[in-house]
């Protein structure tokens, strides 16, 4: 059985795989810092060399240049690699990113963030270990294992690796769309390993993400800031209008007050309810993550449903407000309130914007203020939902059972991973999110880690998934 030989190989060669991760973590490929842009390119070269050494055919696409606060920077390449070209086999596309979040030892890291350290609990600590260098190398480890054993992969494998994910994936979408009927033409399904288990003990498959619609609500009146001792009580004050409006958006227990928002939300089916029955999650994990017991909902089910499959509205800030310490009797001339709505099926972004604009305008008119108000949606991304019943997911679930001897949790996430939607819309193929790391890995935080067991079992999982997905009808 090739898959059994593969699993044995991974177990025996895990130290080699850790060394590969050590080399990758040592390259500080921080995409958000111009001083590290050459390191992002170096990281691309590292992956290209690794892939070529394993017999992959590698191409790159140049996304062009970035305007970074007036500075023109070259964008790192999109690395496209192919292993196998057998028309009788399925073709699976895997996506990952080789850039990382910034990390400075002064931020509070216990060790140098760009030196991989294994602690006594076998945690591999270093920036990018779990996000997303470990998973990207997991796929490369799978290719290496097969090459070294003289085995063919059960599928044709295509890679799409980008170096700007932590900076908004600048330049990626146009390439995905332009290559959809070229480089990605034969792709049968997509697998992305760039998110996390719900908790720390049980693997999961992720089949949904919320979208986001972000709003700026601007109120302005006087030509310039005023003094309350001179004008207080004599003019309509922009901040007073803004607070009146912001207070009408959401209740303290999280209920959105914009009429019509909940009408668009898909009902929870009995089948969906069941997926919440045995999730590996405890309310303490929420308390730990938040640092306080300020939960709105008492049950795990309600908490996770409100994170994953119901909309939420959050207030983020007020631009133009006085916020320094001390007492200043200024009346700001122009204030911008910022808030966003996390959206879910079957909400449509255009409809959400229309409802918000109408409601805020109606409420502003009720104030009888002589100030002026504008509201606009400044950016938006749609929600994404797949199905755990899709054969791509069924194959992944079987792979989890083979490697971990447990059925995976079926999870969604409250945030967004925009590339997921881009691949689905451009390629019209199923997209699977198959995480390697644990929920406590601290992806964008200090002391980011990937447990050795997650790296090793994760490599086994990615390889076993390729065997399982080669057997299903996509």
Q: What are the residue numbers of the active site?
A: 99, 165
Q: For residue 178, what is the enclosing H or E element?
A: helix 172-179
- How far is the C-alpha of 211 from the C-alpha of 379, rounded, in Å? 11
With contacts defined by CB under 5 A, name the span among 190-198, 204-212, 332-340, 394-402 that binds Zn ion.
190-198
DSSP secondary structure code for residue 339 in this structure: E
Q: Which residues make Cβ contacts (< 8 Å) with residue 138, sequence separation at least 6? A: 193, 436, 455, 458, 459, 462
Number of other CB atoms surrounding residue 392 within 10 Å: 26
Query: Is 5 strand, coil or helix?
Result: helix
User: CB-wise, 50 or 194, nearer to Zn ion?
Assistant: 194
Kindly tell me which of 131 and 237 has the beta carbon lying closer to Zn ion: 131
Shortest distance, position 135 Cβ to Zn ion, whole Å: 8
98 vs 339 by CB, closer to Zn ion: 98
Binding span for Zn ion by CB under 5 A among 21-29, 127-135, 155-163, 249-257: 127-135
How far is 426 from 415, CA to CA, in rounded Å?
A: 21
Residue 179 as a binder of Zn ion (CB under 5 A): the answer is no
Q: Which residue of 39, 50, 132, 162 would you call a contact of Zn ion, by CB under 5 A?
A: 132
Query: What is the arrangement of strands in the sheet containing 312-319, beginning at the earlier edge strand?
Result: 312-319, 334-343, 211-220, 372-381
280 or 417: CB nearest Zn ion = 417
Min separation Cβ 222 and Zn ion, Å: 45
Query: Count of H helices and E strands in the chain?
Result: 14, 20
Is residue 194 within the footprint of Zn ion (CB under 5 A)?
yes
Residue 441 is a binding residue for Zn ion (CB under 5 A): no
Among 131, 237, 241, 448, the residue binding Zn ion under the rule CB under 5 A is 131
- Which H or E run includes 410? strand 409-413
Q: At closest approach, how far in Å is the CB of 98 from Zn ion?
A: 10
d(CA 447, CA 107): 10
Minimum Å gap between C-beta 194 and Zn ion is 4
Residue among 237 and 441 whose Cβ is closer to Zn ion: 441
Q: Tell me: does residue 409 bind Zn ion (CB under 5 A).
A: no
- Contact between 413 and Zn ion by CB under 5 A: the answer reads no
Q: Does 448 bind Zn ion (CB under 5 A)?
A: no
Q: Measuring CA to CA, how many Å separate 188 from each of 93, 95, 157, 158, 207?
A: 8, 14, 10, 11, 17
Nearer to Zn ion, 129 or 459 (CB): 129
Q: Is 99 in the site for Zn ion (CB under 5 A)?
A: no
Q: Minimum CB separation from Zn ion for residue 166, in Å?
A: 7
What stretch of H or E contains 66?
strand 65-68
Q: Provide, rounded to whole angstroms, the least separation between the CB of residue 132 and Zn ion.
A: 4
Residues at the contact surface with Zn ion, assessed by CB under 5 A? 131-132, 194
């Amino acid at each position: 059985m090739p898959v059994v030989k593969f699993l044995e190989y991974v177990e025996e060669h895990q130290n080699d795989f850790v060394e590969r991760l050590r080399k990758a973590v040592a390259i500080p490929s921080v995409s958000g810092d111009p001083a590290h842009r050459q390191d992002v390119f170096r990281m691309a070269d590292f992956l290209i060399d690794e892939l070529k050494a394993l017999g992959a055919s590698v191409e790159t696409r140049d996304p062009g240049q970035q305007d970074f606060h007036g500075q023109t920077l070259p964008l790192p390449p999109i690395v496209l690699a192919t292993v196998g070209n057998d028309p009788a086999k399925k073709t699976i596309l895997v996506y990952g990113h080789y850039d990382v979040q910034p990390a400075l030892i002064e931020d509070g890291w216990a060790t140098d963030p760009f030196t991989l350290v294994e602690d006594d609990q076998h945690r591999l600590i270093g920036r990018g270990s779990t996000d997303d260098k470990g998973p990207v190398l997991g796929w490369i480890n799978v290719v290496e294992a097969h090459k070294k054993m003289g085995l063919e992969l059960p599928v044709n494998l295509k890679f799409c690796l980008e170096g700007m994910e932590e900076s908004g994936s600048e330049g990626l979408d146009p390439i995905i769309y332009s290559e959809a009927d070229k480089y990605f033409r034969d792709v049968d399904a997509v697998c992305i390993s760039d998110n996390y288990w719900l908790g720390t003990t049980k693997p999961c498959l992720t089949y949904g993400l919320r979208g986001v619609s972000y709003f700026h609500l601007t109120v302005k009146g006087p030509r310039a800031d005023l003094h309350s001792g001179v004008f207080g009580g004599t003019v309509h004050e922009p901040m007073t209008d803004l607070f009146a409006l912001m207070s009408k958006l959401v209740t303290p227990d999280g209920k959105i007050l914009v009429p019509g928002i909940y009408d668009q939300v898909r009902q929870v089916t009995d089948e969906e309810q069941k997926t919440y029955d045995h999730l590996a999650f405890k309310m303490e994990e929420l308390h730990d993550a938040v640092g306080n017991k300020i939960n709105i909902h008492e049950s795990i089910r309600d908490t996770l449903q409100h994170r994953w499959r119901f909309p939420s509205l959050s207030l983020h800030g007020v631009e133009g407000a006085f916020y320094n310490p001390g007492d200043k009797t200024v009346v700001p001339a122009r204030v911008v309130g910022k808030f966003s709505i996390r959206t879910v099926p079957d909400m449509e972004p255009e409809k959400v914007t229309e409802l918000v604009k109408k409601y805020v305008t109606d409420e502003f008119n009720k104030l009888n203020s002589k100030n002026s108000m504008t509201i606009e949606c400044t950016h938006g991304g749609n929600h994404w939902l797949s199905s755990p019943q899709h054969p791509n997911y069924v194959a992944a679930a079987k792979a989890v059972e083979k490697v971990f001897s447990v059925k995976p949790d079926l999870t969604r996430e409250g945030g967004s991973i925009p590339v997921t939607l881009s691949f689905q819309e451009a390629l019209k193929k199923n997209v699977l999110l198959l995480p390697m790391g644990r929920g406590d890995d601290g992806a964008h935080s200090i002391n980011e880690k990937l447990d050795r067991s997650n790296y090793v079992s994760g490599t086994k999982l990615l390889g076993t998934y390729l065997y399982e997905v080669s057997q299903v009808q996509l």
